[in-house]
Amino acid sequence: MKKLIIPILAFLFAVPAMAQNRIPDITLKDLNGNSVKVSEVADSGKIVVINFWATWCGPCLKELTNINDVIEEWKEKYNIEFIAVSIDDSRTTQKVKPFVEAKNWVGYKILLDVASDLKRAMNVLDPPYTFVYDQKGNLYYSHPGYQEGAEIELEEKIAELAKLNK
């Protein structure tokens, strides 16, 4: 019996980790109500950054505000697609579009994960949480939380990935 426990535990811990290795096949709405299949973004041939955030999350707002200052440069330099996934629920989701417009976050593709489907599929507990996928949709890097300056490390990871695929 003991010989079975270790393989079973290894499998149970491996399954959630495997779920994050590819961008999940989930459809969300953008700020204009259009459906966006998140997995299709992986087919763009670009590095894909997915960041989970919420209007009520202070560290999330600081992170996206700091990245907003350099996002256009990153897009040009590294050929990335940056998706900011709001996990605001049905009570606060109506605040997202005016909030994004007020912040002038035009460099992000904003998606709404009102039911937390993508959040669950990617095993995200709390925002902010950032994932970086290569040009083929494979997970390259992930980082929970945010501390001032973490965007520098994020750019380093994106630059490494861009260099690997030249």
Cα 16 to Cα 67: distance, rounded to the nearest angstrom: 28
Cα 151 to Cα 71: distance, rounded to the nearest angstrom: 10
Note if 106 is an active site residue: no
Residue from 20, 54, 15, 62 nearest 38 by CA? 20
E-only strand ranges, the chain: 27-30, 35-37, 47-53, 80-86, 109-112, 129-133, 139-144
Catalytic residue among 42, 47, 60, 112: 60
Residue from 28, 123, 125, 137 nearest 84 by CA? 28
Cis peptide leading into 128, omega within 30 of 0?
A: yes
Catalytic residue among 28, 57, 71, 112: 57
Note if 104 is an active site residue: no
Catalytic residues: 57, 60
